[in-house]
Amino acid sequence: MLAWKVTMCTPEYPGGRDIVLISNDITFANGTFGPPEDAVFQRASEYARALGIPRIYMAANSGARLGVSDAVKKSFRVQFVDASDPAKGVQYLWLSAKDKEALGSAVVTEAVAVQPGDGDEDGPERHSVHHKIVAIIGHEEGLGVESLQGASLIAAETSIANREIFTLGYSTARNIGIGSYVLRLGHRVVQQRQAPIILTGFQALNKLLGNDVYESNLQLGGPEVMSGNGVAHLLADSDQQAVCQIVHWLGFVPKAVGAPLPLLLSVEARDADGNLAATSSQGAVLARRQPSSVTAASTSSTSSTSSTSTSTTSTTSSSTGVGVEAAEAAEAAKAADRKSVV
């Protein structure tokens, strides 16, 4: 689990705005949530709440981490129903006395008496007692219910954050179990079209149903499902498009709780008399947007204004009648400017 405090310079906040960005690391343990990952997520979310700034979650995970101790996996042995035909099934998993002693409290076992060599294929080594594995505790952290406890912790934290700050999640790859819950508990969700949001994989459901009902995880939590039921608010074809959508959405969110709403600087400009006047760039935009007749009127009014300015500076060679006509032309030009802007 990774977390950053990011300062972004956006059109609404050219001086910068802060967000807290949280992301799974799918290259580590398939992005699963264990106690350390849950702690990082919780503290980063609490930090965002303390500052009152938006929290963005980039989600790509495999749900809560439930595993088996690596030390046990290297040591256990299998007692088959029929050693000559493993397809008949397994009776139990067991450890030798030496391995049991080495693992210590990592496993709970019970002794099973066997005939030496009975289903025991250890070459010259024969065992009269199998230490049947009853429970695996493991020395590693995060193999059992503690991962589920951590999952409930970050779900509760996200619910609190939902009430206090703006929260948005982006499903950039598959999300399973608690990863999907945390996405759903946020204010807004952006989903990549190939990134399912599910609780259980389709293979497990097919086994439960006893039939191949589903062919992929997208049938369970793809965009057709999640956009239709309101979980996903926006869909994206790529990560770049999703990031653009997130930044655009943040343009409607204050930089912090209680701050004024974000506003873009107005493109309007006024002359010395307080009348609305278009800047050169605005005039170009208006020329593209207005009908040709209005554009022509704006162009003629601009040329009239230029001629008026020239005539009024040469007052020594102008008569009173010409000055009145120039003033009337100037007023007409201003009216045309206001009309073109509107």
Over residues 111-120, the pLDDT tens digits come to: 998 876 554 5
Residue 210, Cβ neighbours under 10 Å: how many? Answer: 7
Instruction: Average the pLDDT over 311-326 and give the result.
Output: 45
Predicted local confidence at residue 136, as pLDDT = 83
- Asked if the structure places residue 256 within a domain, the reply is no
Number of domains in the chain: 3
Percentages helix, strand, coil for the chain, rounded to the nearest 5? Answer: 45, 20, 35
276 or 323, greater pLDDT: 276
- Asked if the structure places residue 260 within a domain, the reply is no
> Per-residue confidence at 48, pLDDT binned at 50, 70, 90?
very high
Question: Coil, helix or strand for 164?
Answer: helix
Take residue 233 and report the two structure tokens written for it: 């608010």
115 or 148, greater pLDDT: 148
Closest CA to 63 of 45, 44, 38, 39: 38
Q: Which of 1-10, 61-70, 128-137, 206-215 has the highest mean pLDDT?
A: 1-10
Show the domain range for 101.
70-136
Q: What CATH number does residue 132 fall under?
A: 2.40.460.10
- Asked if the structure places residue 284 within a domain, the reply is yes
Predicted local confidence at residue 50, as pLDDT = 98
- Asked if the structure places residue 263 within a domain, the reply is no
Residues 175 and 46 in one domain: yes
Pairwise CA distance, residues 187 & 115, whole Å: 64
Predicted local confidence at residue 309, as pLDDT = 44
Instruction: Average the pLDDT over 221-231 and give the result.
Output: 94
Take residue 3 and report the two structure tokens written for it: 């977390």
pTM of the model: 0.66
- Asked if the structure places residue 255 within a domain, the reply is no
- DSSP H helix total and E strand total for the chain: 12, 14
Pairwise CA distance, residues 322 & 328, whole Å: 10
